[in-house]
Amino acid sequence: MNMKRTFIISLALCTSLYAKAQYVAVDTTKLAQAYAAWQQESSPANQRVFFDAFPKNWMEFIATYQYGAPFYDRADKHVHALGEMAKAIPTDEYCERLVNLCIGGELDADAPNYLRELVGEALSADSESRKGIFTCLSRLRIGHRFQFWFFYWSNIVRSRTLEAEFADLYAYAKEAYPAEAVIMADAYKYAYNGVNFMTEGYRK
């Protein structure tokens, strides 16, 4: 069992590193127009257009919002706007987007941190999205589920807030999604207080 877990962890991390060479930003003109239209009028139609224009996975997200990328200085506002879409987009679809954005993600300041905070809001106990995210994860292959949680629990130092959040989510998952509780705990073991910002290298 331990060898199997080690293999899954190694495969998930290697897949994440390999994917770096394939990062492509989204259509930033379309994204900017969609955001401007949503700001002017928060109609269901404009919310849908922005949601569809927003990056659909980690590769698109980081290529669009990382330091030096086209929309680095708009990351905070755009991620906040994505959070507002939870009120207009079907829960399953919204949660699937959040999960896809996190798979393969790496900890860093700014855009990655904004994304992780948004997912944290979705996973909060009083959020309808919590069940949606766990349900979405249950449909994925185990390595990708580990990737999601590895990104989410990644932290460069110890944090009482994250420790309390893990305890809460683990208790929830153990009852409702026991298989996910095991994967989440494995990711937490290696990612929490176990990684650096991706821009600072990987040495201790």
Supply the pLDDT for residue 126: 81
Q: Please say whether the beta carbons of 55 and 103 come within 8 A.
A: no
On whether the pTM is more than 0.85, the answer is yes
Each residue's pLDDT tens digit, 12-57: 544 444 444 456 889 999 999 999 999 999 999 999 999 999 999 9
